[in-house]
Amino acid sequence: MSNMKIWNGYGSEHSMNLVMIGRFRDAADAAKAKQIIDWLVEKVDADVKAGQLDVGEGSDRFTAGMLDLLGRVNVATIGPNEVEQFAYDVTVKLKDNQVILTTEESDVSAFLKVLVDRGARVEVFSAHDYPEAEYGRGK
């Protein structure tokens, strides 16, 4: 199976151009949240490559490795059906005390839950509607 990111939408003319900014009290908290997201992305990629997770199929249970990881990083709010979101094409950047995500996806609840669980105040918007925003695409 190739390492392909799945765009789960109805057509490029309806892309979300979504921006999600998690603002933390300090840079260390932001860095920890980004690290957790990175680990979750890596685990989902490994589960897909191992044939343990089929993106687009929806899952009603975690792989053993994912369950272990979620326990180690103390994120208990993500459901098994949300895990595949970490396989989607999402750019995650760290800037000072902020974790900034950009994607064409609309299903971002798993990312939101990690940010909120780790103490972020979160702003979500479409860069289509707010192109002047500091973190919109192309900025």
Which residue range(s) make up the domain with 111? 16-126
Side by side, the strands of the sheet bearing 121-126 are 90-95, 98-103, 18-23, 121-126
Residue by residue, DSSP assigns 53-111 as --TTS--SS--HHHHHHHHHTT-----GGGGGGGGB-EEEEEETTEEEEEES-S--HHH
- Give the predicted TM-score (pTM) of the model: 0.84
* Residue 138 in domain: no
3 falls within a domain: no
Residues 6 or more apart whose Cβ sits within 8 Å of residue 42: none
Write out pLDDT tens, residues 68-127: 999 999 999 999 999 999 999 999 999 999 999 999 998 999 999 999 999 999 999 998
Could you tell me if residue 8 is inside a domain?
A: no
Q: How many domains does the chain have?
A: 1
Judged by phi (left if over 0) then psi (alpha if -120 to 50, else beta), residue 56 lies in left
Q: Is residue 133, in this structure, part of any structural domain at all?
A: no
